[in-house]
Amino acid sequence: MERRPVSLLPPLVAQRIAAGEVIERPHSVVRELMDNAVDSGASSVDVYLESGGIDSIRVIDNGYGMTRDDLALCCASHATSKITSLEDLDRLETLGFRVEALSSMAACADLTITSGTREGSSHILKVKSGEEPVITPGGSSHGSTVEVRRLFHEIPGRKKFLKSPRAEGASCRKVFLDKSLPFTNISFRLFADGNLKLFLPKSSLKQRVLQAYSQVLNESFIYDLPCQSGPVQFHAVLSSPAFYRTDRSYIQVFVNKRRVSEYSLVQAVTHAYSGVLPGGAFPYCFLFLELPADTVDFNIHPAKQEVRLRGQREVHHHITTTLRDWLNAPPEQEGRPAEITQESNELFARESGLRRQSSRPRTPPPRQWYQSLQTMQEAPPAEPREEQDDFYYFGQVFNLFLLAQREDSLYLIDQHAAHERIIYEQLKSSEALQPLLIPLSMTVEEEIHRFLSSHGDLYRDIGIMVEHQQDTT
């Protein structure tokens, strides 16, 4: 490759490259526009999607709006009303602050903004895929309507990596929930292809979570835990040990009203529940932390999804101990979590869509554990019931575990896990071949046919059956 001189990129090319750092897919547009709508002081925000946001994304708010002069600057690179100096980054009080959102959208899509203030008239700004903006009078109310159409239409290299409308719509819905959950003083609506999909009216934090995830959560097992004392203030909407799932997807953490991906904070929640949930089970917990702005740094990720905390160890410890104290609250304490019961486990099995071999609880309540162990200690020792390979089998405990002894060791075996392991070992050691549901047929040349016919045993040893079929056509 020959040497090329260094040169400056044309402005439009540079804009579109920069746009790719901020706008990855339709959900990136939803994220940035909802940030701006919330920051505008709105009391209601509506999001409209067409074809999962690929064809159109429209966000309407009733905030304080923009003047004509504001509109003239809002799509310029590095234009913002959120920060004025470098020091402002150390005390952020707004969601949007990267100042490149509208500029990036104008570079990679058709952008229309209709906005006006209470005191002045409304105007319409239109930008078509990086062209010069045009502003005309129009609109009838205060607030802003921002519409982004034909995302990446002029950048086919980016557009071909978009997913199906259904998949892009699901990502937009997730962002919508992440942005709307903490702001209970704002009502939110989500529309998809003209149909109302979600309506979250102004409410309490617990009710906002229940409304957002009504198909997943059961109110009987969801609790409200505000914590306004100690070194860290937070509010948790969380499940009792009676209601759990087999993954961490519903442990969601918000710091200063931003959803963040911070493993240490998720770990703080799982540690708190570790003593009351069986292995592989995780709670539902929506954790909303409020920290001093100068102890939090969001300026480390383009999507503001990661956070750097000062005093992270103390935050982790405070969350874990507070949640653990709540989980271990005495029975007479108001608001204590419900115990694990057969009914609650059956409810979990139904709502999670999981099928179990029985409807017995996976683990009994800690008070039941204590009583059973105390009874075992007071009872006379039982004679071993069965001996096999130096193991003495005593019987079943809690209708779930098998109790056995070998020399000086006592074994508590999960019978379901043991059964699954036996089946796995049988399958792994089996020499039987499992045929394809539909055999694979192919036509080969005569030389290859002769080779396959003479080496059938070789292929059979590695699990491939080769059969010759006469062509009848």
Does pLDDT of 331 surpass 90? no
Side-chain half-sphere exposure of 401, counting CA atoms within 13 A: 13
Does pLDDT of 60 surpass 80? yes
Alpha helices of 288-414 — where are they, by DSSP H?
312-327, 342-352, 366-378
Res 179: pLDDT: 95
- Residue 18 sits at φ, ψ, to 5 deg, of -65, -35
* Within-domain flag for 454: no
Question: Does 83 share its domain with 231?
Answer: no
Whether residue 238 contacts residue 270, with contact meaning beta carbons closer than 8 Å, is answered with: no
Given pLDDT bands bounded at 50, 70 and 90, which one contains residue 147?
Answer: very high
Question: Does 89 share its domain with 165?
Answer: yes
CATH value at residue 236:
3.30.230.10
* Within-domain flag for 354: no
Whether residue 124 contacts residue 32, with contact meaning beta carbons closer than 8 Å, is answered with: no
* Within-domain flag for 437: no
Strand, coil or helix: 345: helix
* Within-domain flag for 178: yes
Question: Does 324 share its domain with 392?
Answer: no
* Within-domain flag for 227: yes
Considering only CA atoms, which of 232, 305, 234, 228 is closest in space to residue 263?
305
Question: Does 238 share its domain with 182?
Answer: no
d(Cα 320, Cα 51) in Å, to the nearest integer?
Answer: 42
Mean pLDDT of all residues in 15-31: 77
Question: Does 329 share its domain with 379?
Answer: no
Mean pLDDT of all residues in 305-325: 84
Question: Does 192 share its domain with 211?
Answer: no
351-375 pLDDT, tens per residue? 444 333 333 333 444 474 444 444 4
Distances (CA, A) of 62 to 65, 111, 190, 422: 8, 19, 15, 62
CATH value at residue 187:
3.30.565.10
Structure tokens at 116: 């006006």
Res 432: pLDDT: 63
Question: DSSP letters of 118-145?
Answer: SSS-EEEEEEETTS--EEEE--SSSEEE
Q: Which of 144, 178, 199 is the last residue of a domain?
A: 199
Question: Does 125 share its domain with 255?
Answer: no
Question: Does 134 share its domain with 62?
Answer: yes
Q: Which of 167, 199, 231 is the last residue of a domain?
A: 199
| Greatest mean pLDDT range, 67-76, 89-98, 99-108, 168-177 | 168-177
* Within-domain flag for 31: yes
432-452 pLDDT, tens per residue? 666 777 778 888 788 888 888
84-128 pLDDT, tens per residue? 556 556 556 667 544 568 888 888 899 999 999 888 889 999 998
Question: Does 328 share its domain with 399?
Answer: no
410-420 pLDDT, tens per residue? 888 887 787 77
Q: Which of 414, 429, 444 is the last residue of a domain?
A: 429
* Within-domain flag for 405: yes
181-216 pLDDT, tens per residue? 999 999 999 999 999 999 999 999 999 999 999 989
Strand, coil or helix: 216: coil
Number of folded domains that form the chain = 3
* Within-domain flag for 461: no
Question: Which residue in the block uniquely carries the two structure tokens 């020959």?
Answer: 2
Given pLDDT bands bounded at 50, 70 and 90, which one contains residue 20?
Answer: low
Question: Does 172 share its domain with 114?
Answer: yes
Question: Does 75 share its domain with 194?
Answer: yes
Structure tokens at 375: 């009874």
Its domain, for residue 386, covers 366-429
Question: Does 169 share its domain with 188?
Answer: yes
pTM: 0.68
Q: What share of the chain is helix, strand, coil (3-state, %, to 5)?
A: 35, 20, 45
